[in-house]
Structure 1
C-alpha cells in the first residue's frame, strides 16, 4: 500500500473541497442571511487540515496500485462527507446535532436526498444553496468515478460496459486518456445543468430556485429549497421539465457523449439498458395511473398519469422529488414506487439502485437456468443485443445481488431492533441503500424522528449503496491489507 501517496492525495482533496465553501459564502453576502461565518470557518478548517495532511507527505510520488485506488475512492466520499457536515453544525440559529449533520452531509454528497430538516423554507439562503451544491458535486464525482476511475480498478457498474460486453462503449474510456474522459463528462454534466436551470427559470422559477433545483435534478439527488419540493411550484410545465431532466440524469452519460458527438439518437436506441430503463418507467407510470383512476384518487387520466409518471421517474432515478403526498396513495402504488428504486437508473449515471443492466443480466441468467433444467447438456449463452456476455460478469452480478440482499437484511433488522415498524424500516433501508431519499411510514416526510444510532447506520447504508458495495466492503477483508 502506498500510504504516503494516499495521504498526499487525501490532503489535496480536502484543500480542493475547502474551495466549495466560497459559493455559499457569496450567497450569504448577497442575501445577508448571517450564514457566512459557518462557511468561512469550515473553509479555514478544511484548508488548514488539508494542507497539513498534504505537506507531511508532499514528496510522495509513488504510482498507485489497484488496492490503493479502492482506499482513495472510499476515503474520498467518507472524509469529504465528514468535512461537509461542519456548516450544518455551525450555522447560526439552525445548527444541527452531530448525528443530524453527518446524516445530512452524507445524504447530500451521495445524492440520496433524505433529510432530517423540517421547515426548509425558513432556512438561510446560504445553507439552502449549500445543500443543493453538495448534491451537484456528489453527482459530478459519481459520473467521473463510475466512467473514468472505477473501470481502472475493475469495479463498479460501468465495468459491465468493457470490451467483454455489448453497448455503446467497447473500452472503459470515452477518450484515449482518463483525464480526457473526466473532462468530457464534466462538460456534459455542466451543460445539462445549465440547460435545466434555464428551463426552470423560463418556466417560472426564481433564479435561485432554478439554479438550486437544476443542481439536484441533474445529480438525481432530490434536495429542494422548499418543504413541498417540486409541488411548491404547482406547475405542470415545471413537472414535465423535471421528468425530462431526471430521466436524462438516470441515463448512462456515455450515451449522452456519443449522441452529442454523432448528433444522433441512435446510441440511445441501440442500447439494451436504455430501452429496458425507458420501458420500466412508462409501464410503472401507466399502471400507477390506472390504479389511481380506479381508486378515484384522480378523475382525469392526464392528471393521474402526470403525477404517477413524475413519481415513477423520481423514484427510479433515485431523485426523490415529489409533487403530492404519494404516501397517501393506495399502499400498492406507494410500495411499487419503492420497489422501482431497486433497479434504479443506468450504469454510468448519477442514479442509485442496483442499475438496470444488472437486473437485465439477472433475468437472463434466470431464464438460462430454466433452459438448463429442460436441456441439461445444452450450452446457452447470455447475450445483450447481439453480443455474448462473459460468464465471469454474470457471476459478479450474482455476487453483487447476494451481497446487496445480505446487507439490506442486516440494516433492516438493526432498524427493527430500534423500535421502527416494518414499513418504516424496509422503506428507510431501501431509500438509503438505493440513494433514493423519501420513504414510507415514519420517514415519509423526513428522518428527523429517528435516533442517532439509526441515523449513523443509514448514513453508512448511503455510502455503501453509492460505492456499489464492493468498493467499500473490500476494505473490511483481511486479504486487502495483506502484502
Structure 2
C-alpha cells in the first residue's frame, strides 16, 4: 500500500495468483463523484434521447455528453473505492466537492448549449436544480424538451444524493444510528445494513417512487414530457414544473397527486420503505413522522386562518 497525498492506492493479490490487479484509489470524495457521475450521465443521456424530434441540436449534445460522462464514470468506478471507515472531515470536504462538481457540470452544459446566454444565469440555474430549489430562469415555452427534462433531472439527482448522504453516509461516518435510529426505531436499520446495500436500496425506492408519480400524473391527463418534469420535481421536493404559475395552472386531480407525492417525499425515505414492504406498524411508532404531521397541520391551520383561504388550499401550500 502506498499513500499519495490524501489518497491511498492498494494492490491486493488475487487469490491463487501472483498477479496484481490494477491499483485502486481509495477516496470517499472521488468514489462519491464517480457514483454521482454514473447516475447523472445516464439521466443526461436519456434527456437527450427524449428530445429527438424536438430540437435535434440540443438532443444530440445532451445525449453525447451524458453518454461520455456515464462511460467515463463507469470506467473510473473500477479504479476508485471508498474507504471502509472514512474520516468525518474528509467526508464533509468530499460532500462540498461533490456539490461543486455537479453545479459546474450543469453550468457548463447550460452555457455550452446556449440554453442560457449568461454564465452567471447558467450557474444560478444549475445550483437551483441540484439544491432542489424551484427557482428557474428558463422559459419553458422557449427551451427544448431536452433542456426542460435536464432541469428536472438535476433536481431529481440532487434529491437522490441528499437522501444518500443523510440516510447512508452520515450515519456510517458518525459511527452511530443517531440519524436513523432514535426516530424510526432499529427496524429502520434493515434498509441500510451496509453502505453499498443502502445506496442500492435507496436508489431503487427513489426510482420506483418516481415511476409511480409519473404514472399517476399520466392518469390525470398530463402529457409524457410534462408528467416526467412534474414527477421528477415532486419526488425531489424541488417543486419545478416548467410553468410560470407552477402547480396553480393544473387541474384538481394533478394537484391532488402532487400533494400526496410531496407528502410522502417530505415524510422521508423510510416511510416509502415501510409502505413498499407492507409494514404499516412502524409508521405509527415513528416519532419523525408524527412530528412531520403535527408541523404540517400547524402550518395548514396558520395559513388558513391568517390568509383566510380554504383548508384544502392551505394544506396544499403547506405540503408543497
**Which residues in structure 2 correspond to 1:69-148 (within 5 Å)?**
69-92=91-114, 94-117=115-138, 119-148=139-168
Counterpart-to-counterpart distance in 2, 1:200 and 1:186: 21
TM-score, L = length of structure 2: 0.80
Could you tell me which runs of 5 or more consecutive residues in structure 2 were left unpaired when the two chains were aligned: 1-5, 9-24
Aligned to 1:312: 318
Paired residues in the alignment total 296
Aligned to 2:21: none
Counterpart-to-counterpart distance in 1, 2:157 and 2:102: 11
The equivalent position to 1:291 in structure 2, one of 298, 306, 309, is: 306
Contact 1:14 1:49 in 2 (8 A): no
Counterpart-to-counterpart distance in 1, 2:190 and 2:289: 19
Aligned to 1:34: 57
TM-score, L = length of structure 1: 0.55
Could you tell me which runs of 5 or more consecutive residues in structure 1 were left unpaired when the two chains were aligned: 299-303, 315-483
- The Cα of 1:50 is off from its aligned counterpart by 6.1
Asked if 1:202 corresponds to 2:207, the answer is no
- The Cα of 1:291 is off from its aligned counterpart by 3.2
Q: Secondary structure at the match of 2:159?
A: helix
Aligned to 2:295: 280
Counterpart-to-counterpart distance in 1, 2:263 and 2:207: 16
The answer to which structure, 1 or 2, has the higher relative contact order (CA under 8 A, 6+ apart) is 1
Instruction: Specify whether residues 30 and 155 from structure 1 end up closer, same or farther in structure 2 by C-alpha distance, changes over 3 A only.
Output: farther
**Which residues in structure 2 correspond to 1:80-479 (within 5 Å)?**
80-92=102-114, 94-117=115-138, 119-154=139-174, 159-162=178-181, 165-169=182-186, 174-233=191-250, 235-261=251-277, 263-293=278-308, 304-314=310-320
Counterpart-to-counterpart distance in 2, 1:204 and 1:155: 47
Q: Secondary structure at the match of 2:137?
A: coil
Contact 1:108 1:132 in 2 (8 A): yes
Counterpart-to-counterpart distance in 2, 1:83 and 1:211: 22
Of the structure 1 ranges 79-88 and 128-137, higher mean CA displacement relative to structure 2 is found in: 79-88
- The Cα of 1:172 is off from its aligned counterpart by 5.3
Describe the superposition over 1:368-399 as per-residue Cα deviations: whole angstroms up to 9, x where unpaired.
xxxxxxxxxxxxxxxxxxxxxxxxxxxxxxxx
